[in-house]
Structure 1
Amino acid sequence: MFKQRVVFVHGSGAFGSAAWPKQHGMALAYDALFLRRHGFDASAEPVESDFQTDARIVLGALADEGRGVAGGHVVAHAQGAIAAMMAAVERPDLVQSLTLVEPACLSLTAELPATAAHRALMQPLFDVRHQLGDDDFQREFVRRAFSVHSDGPATPEALNAARRLRLQAPPWEAPLQIVPGVATLVLTGGWEPLYEEIAGYLRETGAQHRVAAGGHRPQDSVEGDRVIRSFIAEVSRRQHSQAS
C-alpha cells in the first residue's frame, strides 16, 4: 500500500532521526524521511550553512520520481522552518502541508517588536562569529538566546555541534516569502515572545496556531506530538476526500 511521504527538517541542534524522537513511530503509517541539512554530517567537518542548499535538500526529498508519486508533508523545527518555507514557495505543488515548530522565520517579522529586540541582542554576536572560537560562541549564544549558562562542549561530538551552531547564518537574513495555498500549522511552546510573535504573523496569513508545553521543543511533548500527527492526518483525509 502506498504511504504518503512526511519529510522532517531539523533545527540547529540534533539532526536526522535524533531530532525527532517522538515522531519515529510515524514511519508505521507514513513514508517518513528524517533529513540532514547542509553541513550536518556526523562523519564530516561542519561547514557554513546555506539557505538555498537546505531548500534543495527538502525539494529533493519531496520530488522522488522513483516512487511514482511526488510530494508530501513537511515538518520543520526552528531554523529548519526556513528551508521548509522556501521549498514550499518554490514548489507548492509538492508540499501537501507545512508544520512549523517554533519557526525561526525572523525575516518575516523583522519590523515587529520581539523580533527587532532579538536581532538587536544577537546581531553583535553574529557580527564577530568568525573571530570567536566555537565554544565561546556557543556559550554566548546560549546565554543570550535562552538566558542560561553553558559550560561549553566537552566531547568531540559536542565540539562539532558548537561549530555547526557558529556556522549557521543569522535567520533574519533568509529570503522568505509567505507560502501561497499550502495548509500550514505553527506549533509553539508558549515560552518565548519571539516565537509567539512569528506564530501570530503566520496565523494572520492563514496558518493554524497551536501551543504545547515543552519550551523550544514542543514536538517532544505528548501534546505536541499529538497535534502534529492530528494535523497531518486531517489534511490527508481532506485531500483524499477532495480527490475522490
Structure 2
Amino acid sequence: MSIRRVYVHGAGRRGADAWPGADPVSSEFVSFPSASTVQEQAELLVRGFGTAPVLFHAHSIGAVPVALAAQRMPVAGLVLVEPALYDIARGAEPVERHISIVTEARSQAENGDLRAFWAILRPLMFGGPFDPARWDAERPVAEHWAVTNLPWGHGVRRRMLSDIPTLVVTGGWNAEYETIAAELASDGAEHVVLPGAQHRPMDVPGFAELVTAFEASLPARPT
C-alpha cells in the first residue's frame, strides 16, 4: 500500500524545518499560516489532503487540527508525536496543573504585563526562572508564546480516533504527554516511548524504523 506521509508541525519550527529527519522527496510538509486558528488549520488539512488516505505525523499542538480533520476525511493511520490532546485527559493532575499555570500566565499577558506572563510560563515550558538580565533577548519568544494557540478547548474528545490505526510516540520525560498517551492507548492506540530527545522523540534513532513498521501493519484501504 502506498502511503502519503504528511508532516504537521507543532508550535515551534514550521514545515520541513520541524522534521529534519524526514525524506524531503517522499514527504509532504504542512506549514500553517502563523496567525491561523486551530479550526482554520483543520480546514486547511481537509481541503489540501482530503482526497486520499493520509498518514499524518503530527507533533505537539499539531495533533489538535489533525484530530479534528480526521473526522472529516479518509485517514490511513496517525502517527502522533507527543500529542497535545489535553482535552482527552482533563481531570488528570499533570494536565490540570499545566492548564492552570498557562491560564494564569495568559491572564497576565492579556492585562498587558508580558514580563509577568514570562515569569510564570518560562519555568513551565523551558525550565529555569525568569532572569531580568535576559529579558531583552527572550522578549520575542515571550511575545510568540503569549499569542500562540492553546491546545485545549477545540472539541477534541475521548475515542474520536479509536477507529483509526494510531501510533503514539513520547519521550518519557513529561507526565502530561505520558498521561495523554495512556488515554489514547486505552482507546486502542499503540504507544511507544523513545527517550533521549524529550519533546522531540522523532529525532531519536529508531523513530523512522518504528514508523515504517507501523505503516506495514496498516490495513489496505482503497484510494
Asked if the contact 2:3/2:54 (under 8 Å) is kept, the reply is yes
Asked if the contact 1:72/1:95 (under 8 Å) is kept, the reply is yes
Q: Tell me the SS of whatever aligns to 1:7.
A: strand
Aligned to 2:12: 13
- Deviation, structure 1 residue 52: 0.7
Q: Distance in 2 between matches of 1:133 and 1:227?
A: 44
Q: Say yes or no: does 1:73 pair with 2:68.
A: no
Letter in 1 for 2:178: E
Q: Distance in 1 between matches of 2:148 and 2:189?
A: 27
- Deviation, structure 1 residue 21: 0.6
- Deviation, structure 1 residue 135: 7.4
Q: Distance in 1 between matches of 2:165 and 2:90?
A: 23
CA RMSD, Structure 1 to Structure 2 (Å) = 2.6
Aligned to 2:75: 95
Aligned to 2:109: 129
What is the correspondence of 1:134-173 to structure 2 with a 5 Å cutoff?
137=117, 140-149=120-129, 151=134, 154=137, 159=140, 162-173=142-153
Aligned to 1:42: none
Asked if the contact 1:38/1:53 (under 8 Å) is kept, the reply is no
- Deviation, structure 1 residue 50: 1.0
Q: Tell me the SS of whatever aligns to 1:200.
A: helix
Q: Distance in 2 between matches of 1:233 and 1:153?
A: 49
- Deviation, structure 1 residue 136: 6.6
Between the two proteins, what is the percent identity of the paired residues?
26
Asked if the contact 2:108/2:116 (under 8 Å) is kept, the reply is no
What is the correspondence of 1:42-81 to structure 2 with a 5 Å cutoff?
47=35, 49-63=36-50, 70-81=52-63
Aligned to 1:202: 184
Q: Deviations over 1:39-76 (max 9, x none)?
A: 1xxxxxxx3x4111111122223125xxxxx2311110
Q: Deviations over 1:137-161 (max 9, x none)?
A: 4564231234235746749xx93x6
Letter in 1 for 2:6: V
4+ long deviations beyond 6 Å? 133-136
Q: Deviations over 1:9-63 (max 9, x none)?
A: 111100010000111x2x45x3x21111231xxxxxxx3x411111112222312
User: TM-score under structure 1 normalisation?
Assistant: 0.78
Go from structure 1 to structure 2 and tell me whether the alpha carbon gap of 1:121 and 1:136 turns closer, same or farther (over 3 Å shift): closer
Go from structure 1 to structure 2 and tell me whether the alpha carbon gap of 1:72 and 1:111 turns closer, same or farther (over 3 Å shift): same
Q: What is the number of residues matched between the two proteins?
A: 216
Asked if the contact 1:138/1:152 (under 8 Å) is kept, the reply is no
Aligned to 2:32: 37
Structure 2 residue runs of 5 or longer lacking an equivalent are none
Q: Distance in 1 between matches of 2:172 and 2:57?
A: 19
Asked if the contact 2:8/2:62 (under 8 Å) is kept, the reply is yes
User: TM-score under structure 2 normalisation?
Assistant: 0.85
Letter in 2 for 1:212: L
Letter in 1 for 2:220: Q
Letter in 2 for 1:229: T
